[in-house]
Amino acid sequence: ETGVTQSPTHLIKTRGQQVTLRCSSQSGHNTVSWYQQALGQGPQFIFQYYREEENGRGNFPPRFSGLQFPNYSSELNVNALELDDSALYLCASSPDQSSGGTDTQYFGPGTRLTVL
Amino acid sequence: GEDVEQSLFLSVREGDSSVINCTYTDSSSTYLYWYKQEPGAGLQLLTYIFSNMDMKQDQRLTVLLNKKDKHLSLRIADTQTGDSAIYFCAESLGQTGANNLFFGTGTRLTVIP
């Protein structure tokens, strides 16, 4: 148990729709990262938020956007869904370095998105 | 760009040792990680090593880092059927591990009873 939760567990959408995935980090973890894991692949970094600001972005188009809230929750939004967006979406949280926490990322169980 | 490579499959007999290998390209990596993923589940952190170390042992797990060759390995002693899973090696390029991780494609470990 990492203390990181994600909802929903599974989701089915159709092409062109929009989706919002949610993540709840451990208390005190001010950094949240989102990853996309396609079938048979390793996770790929989408973006990272630190104290509610975007803190880095991978090679994903602007239709992938995010939000982080003061209560350690965050969202990943994907607009204009495409078939290739079908994947497991993972969020990972890290403790605030200023509090002397460790440097590792703790992953949630993921949301499996299927786009038809 | 960053590239992390792993062999795709490994089969071992229960009770034997497993060695999973990983190579990475970015010499500025500061932290290297091993994660375990069971079917349909998220990633479980197994262990990590700072780039200024060459070995770390944690119970049945031993991590070896050869920074010159950019080679990382994970040895699992006395492998059990519950160790069957996909193992991912990942590198972090930032000053701390809170920066993004680059993952390999994963090694599927099958433990034969």
Report pLDDT digits (tens) over A12-71: 999 999 999 999 988 888 889 999 999 989 999 999 998 889 888 889 999 999 999 988
Q: Is the peptide bond before A8 cis (omega within 30 degrees of 0)?
A: yes
Note the pLDDT of residue B94: 63
Burial of A66 (0-12, 13-18, 19+ CB in 10 A): buried
Q: B69-96, pLDDT tens digit by residue?
A: 999 999 999 999 999 999 999 988 765 5
Inter-residue contact A29 to A77 (CB < 8 Å) = no
Inter-residue contact B53 to B112 (CB < 8 Å) = no
Q: How confident is the model at residue A97 (pLDDT cuts 50, 70, 90)?
A: low
User: For A74, what's the count of Cα atoms within 13 Å in the CB-facing half-sphere?
Assistant: 31
Q: Number of A:B CB contacts under 8 A? A: 69
Residue B82, classed as helix, strand or coil, is helix
Compute the mean pLDDT over every residue in chain A, rounded to the nearest whole number. 90
With an 8 Å Cβ cutoff, the interface of chain A facing chain B consists of 2, 6, 31, 33, 35, 40-45, 48, 50, 56, 58, 90, 92, 94, 97, 102-110
Q: Find the CB nearest A104 among B4, B33, B88.
A: B33
- B101 contacts A45? CB cut-off 8 A: yes
Q: B47-64, pLDDT tens digit by residue?
A: 999 888 899 999 999 999
Does the pLDDT at position B98 exceed 60? no
